[in-house]
């Protein structure tokens, strides 16, 4: 006989409200159905009453974790339609802040995972390290999360040579600290027991169901929007982090290895950052249609923008990575035990604020 | 960046989407744009980071074919589009009936430029 158990919307492992209706037979999940709408704000429709510059601040508020990359992608759209060449230094600065966002997002998630596994010390240790990145954001941008550095035509703030040297020092120290965590994370019996073989998403499923980011790469698909070379990524050497097993462990390892990757990218950027202006003056209004994509911590972000030269844009459409990762989650849950649902749901690093916008 | 779209009719849509799937394309998302008398439904597909776009111009009040039978992931996007614009999708594998995000007491399609109330009859409210 089947039993229906509600999971969420308020749940100790979920930082945001997501509701799953779990159909169980004994302890085994047979089906999972999602219910959304707890934090839907309809932000896209504000494009009809806010001008293109004000929309930068609005899209930053789509997500409370990776706000910088939302604004960056939106700015790329408008700049692309208007044929604006952003100064090279601004491109480098945008990517430095983006990679810092990726680092603090992955560490936030890693702390939440540790908390879900009952590893309080690891949780606090990881979040302590995350604070180092938040300090960098605050010192360079004036804010910790919604850093508001992007604008159409470039960035609002520059980084001094002293600040760049300090960032290198911080990421060097972080790398050393991460090495210490690595042994706990990769050798601990509990972590492996709760994640290895749990919530398996095969290569084929990940590809066909449209998974994004670490969820896609954890299933062996080597796709990362940074490979397209947008902004300053074309000057950086890197390869996507890929794991093959497709389980919660693989997704954990992708994110953990991406922390090292971001450290490496930040070092490369700071070594290569050119001098020069950080913004150009923007005149006129955009016209046409455009799609721009970028890589958020949770995966591929896509913006579609349509404009007709008026004060307001005709349409701003945002496809966030967690939205793409919900169908794969529904495929991962059937067959798992009820007790594993928490860790599997957390393993996609759900951002419901992004999903519902 | 800027993109070209392939314009399709309702009858061509599902066949074209199936052909793309067979060629190894993944569904990225759909975008809906209110054009006044009609909607533009844009379908965005990806293969090895290269995008392909399909466009279906749908007169308001008409029902669109669902592609969720081809790409399961489309079910969330089509339900979202119904909530926001009132577009009805025929053959949707899991239909939330316009209450995917929105509660039943919401009587308008919030993303339509000319705000009109929901109708009992499929598609007429838009």
Hey, where are the domains in chain B? 1-126
A88-116 vs A67-82: helix axis angle to the nearest 10? 150
Q: Which CATH superfamily is domain B1-126 in?
A: NADH:ubiquinone oxidoreductase Nqo5 subunit (3.30.460.80)
Is the per-residue pLDDT at B125 higher than 50?
A: no
**Confidence band, pLDDT 50/70/90 cuts, at residue A302:** very high
- Label residue A235 exposed, middle or buried (CB < 10 Å: 0-12, 13-18, 19+): middle
For the residues B16-33, what does the mean pLDDT come to?
93
Is B29 at the interface with chain A, CB within 8 A?
yes
Question: A327 to chain B: which residues are within 8 Å by CB?
Answer: 72-73, 75-76
Least confident of A153-157, A264-268, B85-89, B95-99: B95-99
Across the interface, of A37, A208, A291, the residue whose CB is closest to B51 is A291
Across the interface, of B27, B84, B113, the residue whose CB is closest to A210 is B27
| Residue B42 Ramachandran class (φ > 0 left, ψ -120 to 50 alpha, else beta) | beta
Task: Dig out the tokens for A86 from the structure.
Answer: 């952003």
State phi, psi for B19 to the nearest 5 degrees: -65, -40
Is B122 at the interface with chain A, CB within 8 A?
no
Please, which residues have CB within 8 angstroms of residue B54's CB and are 6 or more apart in sequence? B5, B6, B8, B13, B16, B17, B20, B42, B43, B45
Question: What is the ipTM score, two decimals?
Answer: 0.87
For A18, name the nearest residue in chain B, comparing CA atoms only: B101
* CA A198 to chain CA centroid, nearest Å: 22
The answer to whether residues A278 and A155 touch, using CB atoms and an 8 Å cutoff, is: yes
**Eight-state DSSP code of residue A340:** G
Is A40 at the interface with chain B, CB within 8 A?
yes
CB contact under 8 Å between B49 and A228, yes or no, is yes
Is B26 at the interface with chain A, CB within 8 A?
yes
The answer to whether residues B13 and B24 touch, using CB atoms and an 8 Å cutoff, is: no
CB contact under 8 Å between B26 and A291, yes or no, is no
In whole angstroms, what is the distance from residue A256 CA to residue A263 CA?
Answer: 11
Question: A315 to chain B: which residues are within 8 Å by CB?
Answer: 31, 33-34
How confident is the model at residue A64, as a pLDDT? 78
Query: At A221, is the secondary structure helix, strand, or coil?
Result: coil
How confident is the model at residue B109, as a pLDDT? 79
State phi, psi for A150 to the nearest 5 degrees: -85, 145
Least confident of A87-101, A297-311, A328-342, B112-126: B112-126
Is A31 at the interface with chain B, CB within 8 A?
no
Distance from CA of A169 to the nearest CA of B (A): 34
The answer to whether residues A24 and A4 touch, using CB atoms and an 8 Å cutoff, is: yes
Q: Which CATH superfamily is domain A39-356 in?
A: Cytochrome-c3 Hydrogenase, chain B (1.10.645.10)
How confident is the model at residue B120, as a pLDDT? 55
Q: Compute the count of residue pairs across chains A and B with CB atoms less than 8 Å apart.
A: 82
In whole angstroms, what is the distance from residue B21 CA to residue B7 CA?
Answer: 18
How confident is the model at residue A131, as a pLDDT? 94
Distance from CA of B11 to the nearest CA of A (A): 23
CB contact under 8 Å between A302 and B44, yes or no, is yes
In whole angstroms, what is the distance from residue A260 CA to residue A298 CA?
Answer: 16
Give the residue from A77, A327, A334 with the most B CB atoms within 10 Å of its CB, the best one to mutate.
A327
**Confidence band, pLDDT 50/70/90 cuts, at residue A183:** confident
The answer to whether residues A160 and A140 touch, using CB atoms and an 8 Å cutoff, is: no
How confident is the model at residue B121, as a pLDDT? 55
Query: What's the whole-model pTM score?
Result: 0.90
Is the per-residue pLDDT at A231 higher than 60?
A: yes
CA atoms within 13 A on the CB side of A187: 6
In whole angstroms, what is the distance from residue A290 CA to residue A294 CA?
Answer: 14
Antiparallel, parallel or unpaired: β B38-47 and B26-34: antiparallel
The answer to whether residues A220 and A243 touch, using CB atoms and an 8 Å cutoff, is: yes
Please, which residues have CB within 8 angstroms of residue A148's CB and are 6 or more apart in sequence? A57, A60, A67, A71, A141, A142, A156
In whole angstroms, what is the distance from residue A270 CA to residue A163 CA?
Answer: 10
How confident is the model at residue B92, as a pLDDT? 86
Give me the DSSP letters along chain B: ----EEEE-HHHHHHHHHHHHHTT-EEEEEEEEE-SSEEEEEEEEEETTEEEEEEEEEETTPPEEP-TTT-TTHHHHHHHHHHHH---EET-SS--TT-SSS-TT--B-TT-SS--B--SSTTTT-
Across the interface, of B2, B33, B53, the residue whose CB is closest to A80 is B2
Question: B72 to chain A: which residues are within 8 Å by CB?
Answer: 208-209, 327, 331
Quickly tell me which residue has 């466009």 as its tokens. B55
The residue among A314, A319, A281 whose CA lies nearest residue A70 is A319
Distance from CA of B47 to the nearest CA of A (A): 10
The residue among A242, A195, A186 whose CA lies nearest residue A215 is A242
The answer to whether residues A126 and A181 touch, using CB atoms and an 8 Å cutoff, is: yes
Is A132 at the interface with chain B, CB within 8 A?
no
* CA B29 to chain CA centroid, nearest Å: 9
The answer to whether residues B60 and B11 touch, using CB atoms and an 8 Å cutoff, is: no
State phi, psi for A73 to the nearest 5 degrees: -65, -40
Rounded percentage of chain A residues whose pLDDT exceeds 90: 55
How confident is the model at residue B1, as a pLDDT? 53
Across the interface, of B1, B71, B84, the residue whose CB is closest to A292 is B1
The answer to whether residues A207 and A328 touch, using CB atoms and an 8 Å cutoff, is: no
Across the interface, of B34, B94, B101, the residue whose CB is closest to A356 is B101
How confident is the model at residue B124, as a pLDDT? 46
For B46, name the nearest residue in chain A, comparing CA atoms only: A210
Q: How many CB atoms lie within 10 A of CB B37?
A: 9
Domain residue spans of chain A: 39-356
Task: Dig out the tokens for A113 from the structure.
Answer: 């995972």
CB contact under 8 Å between A45 and B111, yes or no, is yes
Please, which residues have CB within 8 angstroms of residue A83's CB and are 6 or more apart in sequence? none
Is the per-residue pLDDT at B111 higher than 80?
A: no
CB contact under 8 Å between B84 and A42, yes or no, is yes
Is A327 at the interface with chain B, CB within 8 A?
yes
Query: At A200, is the secondary structure helix, strand, or coil?
Result: coil
For the residues A232-240, what does the mean pLDDT come to?
91
**Confidence band, pLDDT 50/70/90 cuts, at residue B126:** very low
């Amino acid at each position: 006989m089947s039993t229906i158990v509600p999971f969420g919307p308020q749940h100790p492992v979920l930082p945001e409200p997501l509701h799953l209706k779990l159909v169980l037979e004994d302890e085994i999940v047979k089906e999972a159905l999602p219910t959304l709408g707890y934090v839907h704000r309809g932000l896209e429709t504000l494009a009809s009453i806010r001008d293109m510059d004000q929309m930068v601040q609005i899209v930053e508020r789509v997500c409370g974790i990776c706000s910088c990359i939302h604004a960056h992608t939106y700015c790329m759209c408008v700049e692309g339609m208007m044929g604006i060449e952003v100064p090279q230094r601004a491109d480098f600065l945008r990517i430095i802040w983006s990679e810092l966002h990726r680092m603090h997002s992955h560490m936030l998630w890693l702390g939440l995972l540790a908390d879900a596994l009952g590893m309080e010390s690891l949780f606090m240790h990881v979040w302590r390290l995350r604070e180092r990145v938040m300090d960098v954001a605050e010192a360079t941008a004036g804010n910790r999360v919604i850093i508001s550095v992007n604008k159409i035509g470039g960035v609002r703030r520059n980084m001094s040579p002293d600040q760049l040297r300090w960032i290198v020092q911080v990421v060097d120290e972080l790398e050393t600290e991460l090495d210490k965590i690595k042994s706990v994370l990769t050798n601990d019996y509990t972590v492996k027991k709760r994640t290895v073989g749990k919530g398996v998403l095969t290569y084929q499923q990940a590809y066909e169901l449209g998974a994004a980011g670490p969820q896609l790469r954890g299933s062996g698909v080597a796709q990362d929007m940074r490979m397209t070379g947008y902004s300053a990524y074309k000057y950086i050497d890197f390869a996507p982090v890929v794991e093959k097993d497709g389980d919660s462990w693989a997704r954990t390892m992708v994110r953990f290895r991406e922390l090292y990757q971001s450290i490496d990218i930040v070092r490369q950027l700071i070594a290569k950052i050119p001098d020069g202006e950080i913004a150009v003056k923007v005149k006129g209004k955009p016209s046409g249609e455009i799609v721009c994509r970028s890589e958020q911590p949770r995966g591929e972000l896509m913006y579609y923008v349509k404009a007709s030269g008026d004060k307001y844009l005709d349409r701003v459409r945002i496809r966030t990575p967690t939205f793409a990762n919900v169908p794969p989650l529904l495929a991962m849950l059937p067959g798992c035990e009820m007790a594993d649902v928490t860790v599997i749901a957390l393993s996609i690093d759900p951002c419901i604020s992004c999903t519902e916008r | 960046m800027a993109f070209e779209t392939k314009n399709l009719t309702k009858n061509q849509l599902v066949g074209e989407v199936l052909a793309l799937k067979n060629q190894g394309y993944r569904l990225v998302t759909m975008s809906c744009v209110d054009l006044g008398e009609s909607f533009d439904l844009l379908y965005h597909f990806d293969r090895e980071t290269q995008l392909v776009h399909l466009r279906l111009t749908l007169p308001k009040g008409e029902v669109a074919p669902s592609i969720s039978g081809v790409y399961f992931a489309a079910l969330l996007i089509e339900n979202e589009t119904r909530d926001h614009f009132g577009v009805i999708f025929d053959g949707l594998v899991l239909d939330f009936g316009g209450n995917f995000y929105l509660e039943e007491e919401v009587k308008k399609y919030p993303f339509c430029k000319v705000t009109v109330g929901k109708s009992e009859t499929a598609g007429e409210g838009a």
